[in-house]
Amino acid sequence: MVFNMAFEQVDTNSLKKALIECENKIDYNKTKELISDISNSNVWQTESQKNLKKALEKLKNKRYKELESKISNYQTLVTYIEKYQELVRENESLESQYSSLSSKLYYTETYTDSDGTTITETKKDTSVETQMNNIRNQINKNKKEMESLESKVSNSI
């Protein structure tokens, strides 16, 4: 089930910036320094020292990597949202083209037959119809891709 996520409203530049800032805040060196400082036997030699050192090791070796992985996944999601926004803009442009062409789909042709009668006929411009069909097909293709992108994002968060 795809939820209607307002991707059109997402400020992807701000989101990318925030993710990069999060990534930059992961500080392996500071954690290594803390582990080293705590490991100094002059600080204290208790069970709590071992527990804190173990927790910091876990932070450095496991939690930071998990966080980096999550941030990386979210950065991928930002590219999906950007693609979605691109498709929205493309569909808006295509809808405008379609609307413009619809006024040109039918035209009238007036002629006089052999007995002098003026005849007016409404005809369909098949080249315009083909263009409109191509545009509608592209819009539908874009909508399917947008649904796929929505699914990818909603399944990843």
Indicate the pTM of the whole model: 0.75
Q: Is 138 buried (19+), middle (13-18) or exposed (0-12) by CB count in 10 A?
A: middle
Which is nearest to 57 in space by CA: 69, 49, 47? Answer: 49
Tens-place pLDDT, residues 103-132:
999 999 999 999 999 999 999 999 999 999
Could you tell me if 141 and 91 are in contact, meaning their C-beta atoms sit under 8 angstroms apart?
A: no
Q: Tell me the two tokens of residue 102.
A: 């619809």
Question: In sequence order, what are the beta bridge partners of 120?
Answer: 110
Per-residue pLDDT 10s for the chain (157 aa) are 344 557 888 899 999 999 999 999 998 889 998 888 888 767 677 888 889 989 999 999 999 999 999 999 999 999 999 999 999 999 999 999 999 999 999 999 999 999 999 999 999 999 999 999 999 999 999 999 999 999 999 888 7
**Neighbour tally for 94: CB within 10 Å:** 18
